[in-house]
Amino acid sequence: MAGQRSAEQKTKAPRIDEVELPELETATELEPQAHGFLEAKLLDRLDLTDRDLTGIQFLESKLDGVTLHEAKLKSATFKESVLSRINAPVFSAPRGRWSNVLLADSRLGSVELYETGFSSVRFANCKLGYINLRGANLLDVVFDNCSIDELDLGNAKATRVAFPDTRIGKLDITHAVFQDFDLRAAEIAELISVEALAGSTLSEQQVLFLATSLARNLGIRVEN
């Protein structure tokens, strides 16, 4: 019985579905438009800088080498799709929906994804600046071998999220709600709002490393 209870208490890993794309048709530069619907499309090295793509939907599509700097992607939907080698110093896609998506080998600077819903999403080999995920809902999400300058999860809800081999400069979890939020394989330089750590998993080594941040959040002065 004791062994059974221990197994039940183990941190659950994210459930990530592999993205399987059909045969794709190459899209023209004019096809992506606000409130458009693109299915089984390949967007290959398109420059969509500052394009209004509000409410656009991508289904079973691939965006490869696409520039999305300051494109307006509010309320956009990405479903069963792959985004690779995306370039966007400013990536703005708040209040959208991502379901069964792979974002890989991309460089994004300021990333606005607040109040967005994520389900079965993998970020792989990405360099990310400031990521605003405030108020987002994350279910089954992995940041794999990523470099993140600052990750803001204020007021977010995150279930079965992991960060294997990922480096985070600053992690803000103010008023976040976690379940099976696995930070054990992450390297974190600074943690803000220790009171929101309930529902997360840390290694003993991480707790020792983050002692200064933990003490600061608790109002403890550390002096030699």
Q: Is 163 helix (H, G, I), strand (E, B) or coil?
A: coil
Closest CA to 139 of 122, 124, 155, 126: 122
Write the CB contacts of 219 (distance below 8 Å, at least 6 apart in sequence): none
**Residue 122: its pLDDT value, please?**
98
Q: How far apart are CA 73 and CA 95, in angstroms?
A: 9
> In the chain, what are the domains?
44-217 (2.160.20)
Q: What is the pLDDT of residues 101-144, one digit of tens each?
A: 999 999 999 999 999 999 999 999 999 999 999 999 999 999 99
**Residue 217: its pLDDT value, please?**
66
Q: Phi/psi at 8 (nearest 5 deg)?
A: -65, -25
Q: What is the pLDDT of residues 14-47, one digit of tens each?
A: 999 999 999 999 999 999 999 999 999 999 999 9
Could you tell me how many helices (H) and strands (E) the chain has, helices first?
3, 18
Q: What is the pLDDT of residues 63-111, one digit of tens each?
A: 999 999 999 999 999 999 999 999 999 999 999 999 999 999 999 999 9
Q: How far apart are CA 194 and CA 69, in angstroms?
A: 34
* Confidence check: pLDDT of 6 > 50: no
Contact 81, 64 (CB under 8 A): no
Q: Kind and range of the H or E element at 206?
A: helix 204-209
Q: Could you tell me the CA-to-CA distances from 109 to 68, 86, 147, 191 in Å, in that order?
A: 11, 11, 11, 20
Residue 8's pLDDT band, with cuts at 50, 70 and 90, is: low
**Residue 109: its pLDDT value, please?**
96
**Residue 203: its pLDDT value, please?**
84
Q: Phi/psi at 6 (nearest 5 deg)?
A: -65, -40
* Confidence check: pLDDT of 204 > 90: no
**Residue 213: its pLDDT value, please?**
67
The residue-averaged pLDDT of 185-198 equals: 82
Please state whether the predicted TM-score (pTM) of the whole model is above 0.75: yes
Residue 5's pLDDT band, with cuts at 50, 70 and 90, is: very low
Residue 21 CB neighbour total at 10 angstroms = 14
197 half-sphere exposure, CB direction, 13 A CA radius: 18
